[in-house]
């Protein structure tokens, strides 16, 4: 048996599994980095990205039973529970804290505060209850940190600002010519890349409209969409728009693992993230780490991440503003070089190595 109170239980409602290698990949990346650092980590997570009423009921029930089993069976081994997403993951940590005195760290990623907590009074109250009982709260973005303190009346001393970090050994610069050859991008084309879930809230309709406008003037443009396509209704609408408007040069690649994605990031001439909201915007940071300029919505964490010439910020839900931001890079390559230089500094500031050091210090403080 392990020595008592020397392990950490990570609880998350998103984690990669056999049905999706990218589902909550940022949590897995952090877990693996913590293990390399020497932390003894157990994981209780939902690793099934499939949706639908039956699948949701089944996977949440299995996850709940697994997490409760870990908490009760190994109660004497855990010094703290680190929950990713405040609700529902934080409930497991709260239960362990109340019953067995384990410490509770929660990471708020954005949707748990911006969307779920605002759905109704029940979700808001549960979120508030977990936040106020936590020993340390980690917010991945500055706006998120402010919301947690002000909306949920949490002591500001308990809220830390910390992104998930980017692994710079994976998302590393590759010469454009070499990266384009490896990803089968045509060398002469100007390649626009989007990475994220294929949902309306990511601004994909606005991106498509912007691309169509720019394509009429710059025939060598190409648009690449990478990410989960599990929302079939929206995917059909997206494909229908492409077909009806006869938009050419659009490629839907589906999800990619980290190694493949890093090559696409390096090959792209610009990463575009036109989201309606973003807790932090990790994919933007990954592109910056790969030395690719970023155009993103002036919302949430992106407003801070892309500030100070680290990227181009544009008004959300505005295809004309998005077109102008992308065109700035098409017309002025030197602008792109400036963004790359500043973006590289931001990527180093938010490197996974630095983040893991900070997180390890938090674990020691609450031990």
Q: How far apart are CA 127 and CA 152, in angstroms?
A: 8
Q: What is the pLDDT along the chain (367 residues), one digit of tens a residue?
A: 344 678 999 999 999 988 788 889 999 999 999 999 999 999 999 998 887 888 889 999 999 999 999 999 999 999 999 999 999 999 999 999 999 999 999 999 999 999 999 999 999 999 999 999 999 999 999 999 999 999 999 999 999 999 999 999 999 999 999 999 999 999 999 999 999 999 999 999 999 999 999 999 999 999 999 998 878 899 999 999 999 999 999 999 989 999 999 999 999 999 999 999 998 999 999 999 999 999 999 999 999 999 999 999 999 999 999 999 999 999 999 999 999 999 999 999 999 999 999 999 999 988 7
Element (H, E) at 254: strand 250-254
CA distances from 353 to 30, 105, 232, 288 (A): 10, 19, 37, 16
CA 328/CA 279 separation, integer angstroms: 26
Put residue 317 in one of left, alpha, beta given phi > 0 → left and psi -120 to 50 → alpha: left
Quick one: tokens of 232?
A: 């079939």
User: Do the Cβ atoms of 130 and 86 come closer than 8 Å?
Assistant: yes
- Longest CA span, the chain: 68
Q: 251: cis peptide before it, omega within 30°?
A: no
CA dihedral of 188, 189, 195, 200, whole degrees rounded to 10? 180
3-state secondary structure 232-250: HHHHHHHHHHHHHCCCCCE
Beta bridge partners of 167: none
Place of tokens 């010439």: 309
Backbone CA torsion sign across 311, 312, 314, 319? negative
For 240, residues 6+ apart whose C-beta sits below 8 A from its C-beta are none
Task: Please give the backbone phi and psi of residue 117, each rounded to the nearest 5 degrees, phi first.
Answer: -65, -20
Q: Are 271 and 277 in contact (CB under 8 A)?
A: no
**Coil/strand/helix, residue 52:** coil
**Taking phi first (over 0 means left), then psi (-120 to 50 degrees means alpha), and beta for anything else, what does residue 153 get?**
left
Residues 6+ apart with CB under 8 A from 14: 23, 24, 27, 45, 46, 84, 85
Backbone angles phi, psi at 230, to 5 degrees: -75, -20
> What pLDDT is attached to residue 2?
44
The model carries a pTM of 0.89
Residue with tokens 């294929």: 198
What are 44's strand-pairing partners? Answer: 11
- The pLDDT value recorded for residue 350 is 95
Give just the sign of the alpha carbon dihedral 28, 29, 35, 39: negative
* Ordered structural domains, the chain, with CATH: 7-165+351-366 (3.40.50.2000), 176-349 (3.40.50.2000)
Task: Give, rounded to a whole angstrom, the gap between the first and last alpha carbons of the chain.
Answer: 20
Q: Does residue 357 contact residue 296 with C-beta atoms inside 8 Å?
A: no
CA distance 255 to 197: 9
* CA angle (124, 163, 253) in 5-degree steps: 95
């Amino acid at each position: 048996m392990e020595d008592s109170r020397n392990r950490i239980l990570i609880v998350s409602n998103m984690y990669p599994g056999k049905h999706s290698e990218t589902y909550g990949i940022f949590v897995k990346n952090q877990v693996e980095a913590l293990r390399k650092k020497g932390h003894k980590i157990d994981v209780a997570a939902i690793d099934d990205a499939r949706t639908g009423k039956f699948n949701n009921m089944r996977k949440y029930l299995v996850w709940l039973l697994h997490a409760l089993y870990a908490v009760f069976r190994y109660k004497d081994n855990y010094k703290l529970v680190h929950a990713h997403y405040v609700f529902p993951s934080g409930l497991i940590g709260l239960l362990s804290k109340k019953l067995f005195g384990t410490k509770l760290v929660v990471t708020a990623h954005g949707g748990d505060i911006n969307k779920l907590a605002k759905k109704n009074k029940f979700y808001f109250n549960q979120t508030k209850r977990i936040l106020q009982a936590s020993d340390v709260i980690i917010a991945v973005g500055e706006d998120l940190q402010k919301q947690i303190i002000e909306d949920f009346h949490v002591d500001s001393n308990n809220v830390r600002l910390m992104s998930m970090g980017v692994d710079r050994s994976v998302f590393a610069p590759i010469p454009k010519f070499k990266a384009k050859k490896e990803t089968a991008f045509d060398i002469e084309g100007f390649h626009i890349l989007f990475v994220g879930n294929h949902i309306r809230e990511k601004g994909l309709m606005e991106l498509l409209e912007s691309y169509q406008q720019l394509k009429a003037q710059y025939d060598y443009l190409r648009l690449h969409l990478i990410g989960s396509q599990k929302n079939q209704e929206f995917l059909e609408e997206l494909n229908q728009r492409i077909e009806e408007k006869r938009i050419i040069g659009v490629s839907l690649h589906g999800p990619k693992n980290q190694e493949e994605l890093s090559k696409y990031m390096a090959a792209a001439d610009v990463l575009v993230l036109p989201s309606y909201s973003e807790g932090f915007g990790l994919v933007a940071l990954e592109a910056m780490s790969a030395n690719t300029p970023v155009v993103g919505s002036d919302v949430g964490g992106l407003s801070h991440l892309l500030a100070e010439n680290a990227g181009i910020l544009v008004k959300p839900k505005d295809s004309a503003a998005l077109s102008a931001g992308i065109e700035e890079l098409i017309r002025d390559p030197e602008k792109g070089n400036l963004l790359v230089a500043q973006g590289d500094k931001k990527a180093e500031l938010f490197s996974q190595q630095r983040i893991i050091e900070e997180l390890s210090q938090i674990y020691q403080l609450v031990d």
